[in-house]
Structures are given as structure tokens and as C-alpha cells.
């Protein structure tokens, strides 16, 4: 089954054709990130205008690259939330129009569930249920239990800022370009992760919630007190900040994996591109997960290739394939506040 995925929830305009939720026939992304880097964050109106400019050429290119015509598509999967209302509307209304004109099934996809399904793209290994997904992006930090496809249970999430937001906001204080996550990872490699002792709010709380806003306040205070913010000090702040965020994410994820006896963990979202998070989670799972037989781990850790961690349409097509409840175009509306049911 060939699904056309469309993603326009924020600053990326994506279209992709994916076969059977796994094989990527094309994946086209156009981004307005450079424009937002200039302003240090996303201006919704600017993002919307760029979406309008890119949406049709991006879809056309995705079909061309997949060497397929609209007639041969089995369904259209589109992100309908959460996200920015302007950009979301452009993807949703385009998908509705295509569905009406070409008489194609229309599958609404929650952007966050889309991030989780990046793990199925080009994946040869079987992902076993129950599975635990950690979604860490610029807007969200959530732990979700997947009992099966279409059977999701939200376990907890951030009460304030998202993990990616903490990277971006503190990066801004350090004068780093938006989005700061990748740069903080790069600079952090040269710094001392123990130099600054940032707070780890809620790390020991009994639930699966997170809180990252206090981290920004603490970092702002530390940065103000630094006499000379030179390269070495910036590297130390980056390394310490990254370590703090990774420690919090790893602790809660491992705790949830034990409580729900999961067979796999799925990392997803932009922050999942962070190598330190991947390495430390993998190490901790190895140390904590019970072994079935010598050398064989009970819990498999999956993390999508880095290019599929950030927003893209292939993950939306994959999610549409596995969670394929279609709707009539009359009944689909963009929902910027969409969360988990
Ligand atoms: O999933 P995504 O592309 O967009 C949202 O839906 O938010 O995530 C973007 C976020 C940004 O906050 C960015 O700083 C962060 O992911 N990010 C990273 C890394 N790459 C992207 N954070 C830490 N380390 C990285 N390597
Ligand atoms: Zn995203």
C-alpha cells in the first residue's frame, strides 16, 4: 500500500511516498529554518507564508521522485495537529482538496504519533509490543506506552518547557543560533559535563512527568555570574546542560520501561538525534534490563536515523499506514492543541 504523507505542522513543508509503512519511495522537505534562525525563533506568520509557497511544489516533487502518479496512491496521511494553526491549515486543506479531487482515502495523523512511527521507516528488525516511546522535540516531552498499533496510553509529559525548548532557550542565552540543540551537542563534546551543577527537577518524582523551565532560570543565573563567557566556558555550560537533560530523560524512561515490562523502547523527536541521549539510554537499558539468556537483552532500543528524528512527512505516511482510520474530508479540521486521547 502506497501512502502520500504530508507534514506542515511548523517550519518544515514535507511530502513523502511510503510503501507499506516502511519503504521510502520519496521524501521531500523544504524548510524555512534559515529565516527563523535570523529571528532566533519561529514567527508563525512567516512560517505560514513559506508553507503556502512550498506545499504544491513539494508534493509534486515527492510524486516525481517516487515515479508515481496521484492515481496510484492508496491514501493521503496528513498531520492535523498539534502545531501552529497557520502551517497546519495549509497541509490539512491541501490534503482535503487532493482527497476530494482524486477520491483518495484521507488519514489524519497526530504529529506526535508520527514522530514515534519514524522508528518503522526502513526498519528491518521487528518492533515488539508492549513498547515505550519517548518523544522529545522542541514542543513536547512525552512518555507513551504502545500496547499495539492504535492502542496508546500516555504516561506523562512535561509540565512546562519541552526538552528541546530548554536546549533552544539556553542556547539563545549563550548566543547560539536557533535551533540550538545540535550546536550544544557539538560544543558540549569539548566541555566538562560536571563543571556546572544544574538542577534536575522532578527526576525522582513517582510519576512520569517532566519539568524543564527551572533549568532555564538556573542556567540564566549561572551565565550572568560568568565573568568572561569565552569558548571554554560555553563548552562547559553546553556539556553540563546536555548531561542534565540526558540524565532526567534516561532516568524516567528506564523507570517506565521497568514498570510496564516493555519489550522495546522507541526514541523519537528532534532531540532523539542527540548521540549522548542514545548512548546513555542504551547503556542504562543494558545495565538495568533483565537478561533472558546470556548476552541477549530483553528490551530493544530503537532510534530512527537522525534525518528522520526531525520533522518529515515519511513518518506521517508510516503512522497513517499503521493507524489507518480514514475520515471524510468534510470531517477533518486542523487542531493546533491536539494531544493524546
Ligand atoms: O521534532 P522537531 O524537529 O520539531 C518539533 O516538533 O519540535 O524538534 C526540534 C527540536 C529543537 O528544539 C532542536 O534544538 C532539537 O530538536 N534538536 C536537538 C538535536 N537536534 C535537534 N537537541 C539536542 N541535540 C540534538 N542533536
Ligand atoms: Zn516534530
271 in contact with ligand 1, CB cutoff 6 A: yes
Predicted local distance difference test score (pLDDT) of residue 298: 81
**139 alpha carbon, closest ligand:** 1
**Could you tell me the sign of the dihedral formed by the alpha carbons of 208, 211, 212, 214, in that order?**
negative
Cα–chain center distance at 197: 27
Residues 112/93, Cβ–Cβ less than 8 Å: no
How far CA 144 is from CA of 92, 130, 133, 135, 164, in Å, comes to 25, 10, 5, 8, 18
Tell me which of 36 and 220 has the higher pLDDT: 220
Q: Report the mean per-residue pLDDT for the chain.
A: 93
Residues with CB under 5 A from ligand 2 (ion): 137, 311
For 102-147, the pLDDT digits (tens) are 999 999 999 999 999 999 999 999 999 999 999 999 999 999 999 9
Cα–chain center distance at 113: 9
Kindly state the percentage of the chain with pLDDT values over 90: 85
C-alpha cell at 182: 545540535
7 in contact with ligand 1, CB cutoff 6 A: no
Q: What is the pTM of this model?
A: 0.93
How far CA 258 is from CA of 155, 236, 268, in Å, comes to 13, 33, 19
12 in contact with ligand 1, CB cutoff 6 A: no
Q: To test the ligand 1 pocket, which listed residue (32, 83, 137) has its Cβ within 8 A of the most ligand atoms? A: 137
Rounded CA-CA distance 272/322 in Å is: 22
Virtual torsion, Cα 170, 174, 178, 182, nearest 10 deg: -80
Q: To test the ligand 1 pocket, which listed residue (44, 116, 167) has its Cβ within 8 A of the most ligand atoms? A: 167
Q: Please name the residue whose Cα sits nearest to atom 20 of ligand 1.
A: 182
Nearest 5°: CA angle at 60, between 55 and 37?
35
269 in contact with ligand 1, CB cutoff 6 A: yes
Amino acid at each position: 500500500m502506497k501512502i502520500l504523507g504530508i507534514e506542515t505542522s511548523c517550519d518544515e513543508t514535507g511530502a513523502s511516498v511510503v510503501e507499506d509503512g516502511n519503504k521510502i519511495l520519496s521524501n521531500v522537505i523544504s524548510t524555512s529554518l534559515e529565516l527563523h534562525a535570523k529571528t532566533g525563533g519561529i514567527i508563525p506568520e512567516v512560517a505560514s507564508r513559506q508553507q503556502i509557497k512550498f506545499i504544491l511544489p513539494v508534493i509534486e516533487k515527492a510524486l516525481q521522485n517516487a515515479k508515481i502518479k496521484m492515481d496510484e496512491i492508496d491514501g493521503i496521511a496528513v498531520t492535523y495537529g498539534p502545531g501552529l494553526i497557520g502551517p497546519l491549515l495549509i497541509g490539512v486543506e491541501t490534503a482535503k482538496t487532493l482527497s476530494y479531487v482524486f477520491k483518495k482515502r484521507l488519514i489524519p495523523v497526530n504529529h506526535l504519533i508520527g514522530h514515534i512511527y519514524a522508528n518503522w521507516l526502513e526498519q528491518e528488525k521487528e518492533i515488539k509490543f508492549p513498547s515505550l516511546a519517548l518523544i522529545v522535540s522542541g514542543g513536547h516531552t512525552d512518555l507513551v506506552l504502545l500496547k499495539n498499533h492504535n492502542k496508546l496510553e500516555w504516561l506523562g509529559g512535561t509540565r512546562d518547557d519541552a526538552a528541546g525548548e530548554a536546549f533552544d532557550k539556553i542556547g539563545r542565552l549563550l548566543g547560539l543560533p536557533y535551533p540550538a540543540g545540535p550546536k550544544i551537542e557539538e560544543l558540549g563534546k569539548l566541555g566538562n559535563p560536571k563543571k556546572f551543577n544544574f538542577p534536575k527537577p522532578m527526576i525522582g518524582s513517582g510519576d512520569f512527568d517532566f519539568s524543564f523551565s527551572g533549568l532555564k532560570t538556573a542556567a540564566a543565573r549561572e551565565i550572568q555570574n560568568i565573568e568572561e563567557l569565552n569558548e571554554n566556558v560555553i563548552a562547559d555550560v553546553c556539556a553540563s546542560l546536555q548531561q542534565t537533560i540526558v540524565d532526567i530523560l534516561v532516568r524516567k524512561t528506564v523507570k517506565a520501561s521497568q514498570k510496564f515490562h516493555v519489550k522495546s523502547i522507541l526514541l523519537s523527536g528532534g532531540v532523539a538525534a542527540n548521540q549522548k541521549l542514545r548512548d546513555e539510554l542504551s547503556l542504562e537499558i543494558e545495565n538495568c534490563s533483565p537478561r533472558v539468556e546470556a548476552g541477549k537483552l530483553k528490551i530493544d532500543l530503537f532510534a530512527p536515523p537522525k534525518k528522520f528524528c526531525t520533522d518529515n512527512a515519511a513518518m506521517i505516511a508510516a503512522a497513517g499506514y499503521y493507524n489507518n482510520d480514514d475520515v471524510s474530508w468534510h470531517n477533518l479540521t486542523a487542531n493546533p492543541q491536539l494531544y493524546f486521547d
